[in-house]
Chains A and B, each alone.
Chain A
């Protein structure tokens, strides 16, 4: 019980701090799915799983940023990997458990962004009714607003990551109950996740000539690799 509470508190704190990076602390794009999942894989000894999870989520992150909060996805993916390891749920790159973790982590990014949009609307209403510009010292009022918003975003990020990781672990239990991959198909999930991510990447930057360029590179690389 005590250990569970420690885990929840640690996930909440780590999630809060990590998700602050996107909007508050530095915005150096360090908190991205690839670094977070690679770090989680390194901590748990699941390097390969962390790498494939990070690659898939990182490729999905190329969709426009107003649609999903990919730092939250990365934090949920990394936290879920840590929890799965702690709860002795075996994760193999591309197996059903891996697919479940990746799916819940990516869904968490969309839900978190939707919640943030709603929060911004409510903040706007509050600020309209009690504007820092009407305070005696607007500079100090703005600074107080910044500090309050940092605290609020920490709480929101911590909640999102903790809840997302819990859901991902539940999904992993469910996926494990479904059974093992059919022979010859293990690893399909990782490949599909990355292939789909590549399509997302193309959709973000590409016109038809960019797709043609990617196709030419694909053919040349396959030929060179034999």
Chain B
């Protein structure tokens, strides 16, 4: 019989939304993780002394992808409930936080966020802003909320093995598919914007704009994508062309 029920696990998932709130250079996410699992740990460890030690074990610096911290928290609760030794819990946390971040960052930040943004912008241009906002919120959150909430349950039910299952959900093939979706949407965005901007101008102007966007993307694919830092410069250039030309 498990010590934690669905309600406890949902409570952990809800509190884990605050895990980034206390991020700092000393403990990284450790204070947020402790805050999230402390009520559940109190149900696992009935004795005050054991509870205090369990919370202290979470004090070591800890950092992983914020959306995947749920599965790790669930697995830690399983280890605590099974009475795993201190070293095993600490080694599990230390050994899995890096690989989990390595799975989560490319999927969420490198693929899902850009894909949902590109889809939302295209939907906005084609069907209007309300449809675009709905697309943005739904496309990102259906996946992200599922991983956050189900991750805690899978981690608690399956223990350390649950990490493999959750990592499998976010595999490289899905990341690659989302990147292809982003590229197709960006091409379509360029076509829509170029056709609208070129309505008063010669036809080649719209094509040149689209080609410029693609070329810009190609130029920076090999470097770190810090291109948006130049946004104010590009907009200032547009301002001066408009006024001074």
Contacts and interface: CB of A to CB of B under 8 A. Distances in A.
Interface in A177-196: 178-182, 184-196
Contact of B235 (A103, A124, A153, A182): A103
Interface string A190-220: 1111111111111111111011011111100
Nearest to B208: A195
Interface string B138-158: 001100110000000000000
Contacts of A24: 17-18, 20-21
A99 B237 CA distance: 9
A47 B129 contact: yes
Nearest to A106: B231
Contacts, number: 348
B213 interface: yes
Q: Is the interface of B mostly helix, strand, loop or mixed?
A: helix
B242 A185 contact: yes
A208 B221 contact: yes
Interface in B106-148: 109-111, 113-118, 120-121, 124-125, 129-130, 132-133, 136-137, 140-141, 144-145
Interface string B215-245: 1111011011111111110111111011111
Given A103-B231, A185-B245, A221-B192, A143 B35 contact: yes
Contact of A138 (B34, B124, B228): B34
Contact of B191 (A23, A106, A149, A225): A225
B11 interface: no
A55 B213 contact: no
A50 interface: yes
A14 to B, nearest CB: 18
Interface in A56-108: 56, 58-65, 67-68, 94-96, 99-100, 102-104, 106-107
B144 A29 contact: yes
Given A178-B239, A200-B225, A153 B187 contact: no
Contact of A206 (B27, B183, B230): B183
Interface string B1-42: 000000000000000011011111111000110110010011
A27 B17 contact: yes
Given A99-B235, A198-B213, A218 B188 contact: yes
A151 B111 CA distance: 32
A35 B45 CA distance: 44
Contacts of B221: 202-203, 206-208, 210-211
Given A120-B24, A139-B38, A62 B113 contact: yes
A201 B118 contact: yes
Contacts of A121: 25
Nearest to B193: A194
B217 A221 contact: no
A188 B117 contact: no
Nearest to B229: A110
Contacts of A95: 242
Given A58-B120, A63-B228, A199 B217 contact: yes
Contacts of B231: 56, 60, 102-103, 106-107, 193, 196-197, 200
Interface stretch (B51-59, B93-101, B163-171): B51-59
Interface of B: 17-18, 20-27, 31-32, 34-35, 38, 41-42, 51-52, 55-56, 59, 66, 109-111, 113-118, 120-121, 124-125, 129-130, 132-133, 136-137, 140-141, 144-145, 179-180, 182-184, 186-197, 200-201, 206-207, 209-210, 212-218, 220-221, 223-232, 234-239, 241-245
Given A139-B55, A199-B227, 12 more contacts: A54-B124, A54-B129, A63-B227, A94-B242, A103-B236, A125-B25, A178-B243, A180-B243, A198-B186, A200-B228, A202-B221, A205-B115
